[in-house]
Amino acid sequence: MSFPERPQVKPARAEFSSGPCPKHPEWSAEVVASKAFLGRSHRAADPKAQLKRVIDRTKSLLGVPEDYRLGIVPASDTGAFEMAMWSLLGPRPVDMLVWESFGAGWATDATKQLELQDCRVLKADYGLLPDLCEVRIDADICFTQNGTTSGARVPNFDWIANEREGLTLVDATSAVFAQPVDWSKVDVLTFSWQKVLGGEGAHGVLVLSPRAVERLETFAPTRPLPKIFRLTKGGKLIEGIFRGETINTPSMLAVADCEDALDWVDRIGGVSATMRRADANFRALQAWVDATPWVENLVAHDDARSNTSVCLKIVDPAIASMTDEAQAAFSKRMVGMLAAETAAYDIGGYRDAPPGLRIWCGATVETADIEALTPWLDWAFAAAKNELATT
């Protein structure tokens, strides 16, 4: 096989991890530190005001309806979505939509931990979506808007009935700030700062519609609820959570980091700008995929392809004919070579996903870095394949 020359130009920033994701291009530790109320109680006036400011600005930037609540909760997106499931599911049938590992985790919790009696799991393989039209109008629906580990996203929210009787619970952690959200079809939405904002981990965001609040105030689960999951007291929503009175102690450094990221979003033109950046990054990567014979997008249908967590499979016959274990080892070798060259970090496919690569194309990545990365991907593939041929 022809062996490409080692590229001379590297991405200015080699961070392409799908979580935690790259910081925004103007990020500075000094600037974030200057905004952080370190060594202060989060219940003091200034830190509490900052928490409330982050809540209000996030809500405004995302276009969340005025009568929806948005709060900061513990344990990243996982904690936020678990909180919603444990607090809300039970009084209606439930349809769990699964096409990647996080959705599969939510389905396991619904069937094995919550032991919901009327719970269907509508499942598709990695790279595909289940038949969204099969969801029941009377059921609560749980799904990932963007499959972070499969690279497959819902193309829109049109399949959710306007006259739905159940609630929709949306894990949108790798979708917000990069993909549109139809709030009229959403009752619960969760995400974490560490994805499209490039923020720090450990904190989640929970958005509730009036219908979700009504469910919370009228449905009392018989299951025990850990303290960090409790959203009501005396049958009423704990409104303080949505005013910056967090359930447990937050990291004020992480809060300041999030506020700094929101400042950046404002400076570049808001969410429409972050969505354009993610789209441009995806187009640059997909154009290379379309022109490259050894690789394909894991997702076959264009309208279901993620513009953030782009998952790629190696289709070169010599590699694709190997066992999954051998393919995983080959991909790992490529990833290791790229990291050693400081050309790309953390682009291996998710551990439960098919062997391959996963490249973050969210808004904090520069398109020029995606364009500089692709020759390195060709180089690493050729180098790893050459090693394989000589062993």
pLDDT tens string 176-215: 999 999 999 999 999 999 999 999 999 999 999 999 999 9
Please report the pLDDT score of residue 145 as a whole number.
98
Show Cβ contacts of residue 335 under 8 Å, excluding neighbours closer than 6 positions. 344, 346, 347, 348, 357, 380
SS3 191: strand
What pLDDT is recorded for position 199?
97
For residue 3, the model assigns a pLDDT of 66
Compute the mean pLDDT over every residue in the chain, rounded to the nearest whole number.
Answer: 97
Please give the distance of CA 275 from its chain centroid, rounded to a whole number.
14
- What is the total residue count of the chain? 391
Q: Where are the alpha helices (DSSP H) in 163-316?
A: 210-218, 252-268, 271-291
Cβ–Cβ < 8 Å for 312, 358? yes
Helix (H) or strand (E) holding 35: helix 29-35
Please state whether the predicted TM-score (pTM) of the whole model is above 0.95: yes
Pick the CATH number of 29-266 from 3.40.640.10, 3.90.280.10, 3.40.1280.10, 3.40.50.9100: 3.40.640.10
Q: Which token pair is 386?
A: 């050459």
Flag whether pLDDT at 322 surpasses 80.
yes
Torsion of CA 306, 206, 43, 228, to 10 degrees: -110
Specify the pLDDT at position 4.
73
Where are the strands (E) in the chain, listed by range?
A: 69-74, 94-98, 119-123, 140-144, 168-171, 188-192, 203-208, 232-233, 236-237, 295-297, 309-314, 357-360
Amino acid identity of residue 204, one-letter, is: G
Q: Indicate the pLDDT class of residue 5, thresholds 50, 70 and 90.
A: confident
Q: Report in angstroms the alpha-carbon separations of 258 from 37, 193, 295.
A: 13, 7, 35
**Sign of dihedral through CA atoms 58, 59, 64, 68?**
positive
* pLDDT for res 73: 98
> At CA 195, angle to CA 190 and CA 201, rounded to 5?
85
Beta carbons within 8 Å of 352's beta carbon, 6+ residues apart = 101, 104, 149
* Domains in the chain: boundaries: 29-266, 269-389
Q: How does pLDDT run across 71-111, given as a tens digit for each residue?
A: 999 999 999 999 999 999 999 999 999 999 999 999 999 99
pLDDT tens digits, residue range 154-170? 999 999 999 999 999 99
* Distance separating alpha carbons of residues 369 and 306, to the nearest angstrom: 18
pLDDT digits (tens, 9 = 90+) for 214-262: 999 999 999 999 999 999 999 999 999 999 999 999 999 999 999 999 9
Residue 390: band (very low, low, confident or very high) from pLDDT cuts 50, 70, 90: confident
How far is CA 318 from each of CA 217, 388, 389, rounded to the nearest angstrom?
58, 10, 10
Tell me what pLDDT residue 391 has. Answer: 77
Confidence of residue 2 (pLDDT cuts 50, 70, 90): low
Nearest Cα neighbor of 181 from 274, 255, 94 is 274
Q: How confident is the model over 261-279, as a mean pLDDT?
A: 98
* pLDDT for 12 beyond 70: yes
Contact between 344 and 17 (Cβ < 8 Å): no
In contact, 377 and 36? CB cutoff 8 Å: no
Say if residues 150 and 99 touch (Cβ distance below 8 Å): yes
Residue type, 199: G
Reported as a pLDDT band with limits 50, 70 and 90, residue 133 is: very high
User: What is the CATH number that goes with domain 269-389?
Assistant: 3.90.1150.10
**Pairing of β 168-171 and β 188-192:** parallel
Query: Is pLDDT at 38 greater than 60 in this prediction?
Result: yes
Are 222 and 26 within 8 A, CB to CB? no
Cα angle for residues 339, 341, 346 (degrees, 5° grid): 15
Query: Which of these, 361, 352, 16, 313, lies nearest to 174 by C-alpha position?
Result: 361
Residue 33 has pLDDT above 90, yes or no: yes
- Read off the pLDDT band of 312 (50, 70, 90): very high
Q: What percent of the chain has pLDDT over 90?
A: 97
Q: What is the pLDDT averaged over residues 345-372?
A: 97
- Report how far residue 273's alpha carbon sits from residue 330's, in angstroms, rounded to the nearest whole number: 37
Spatial CA neighbour of 377 closest among 313, 304, 300: 313
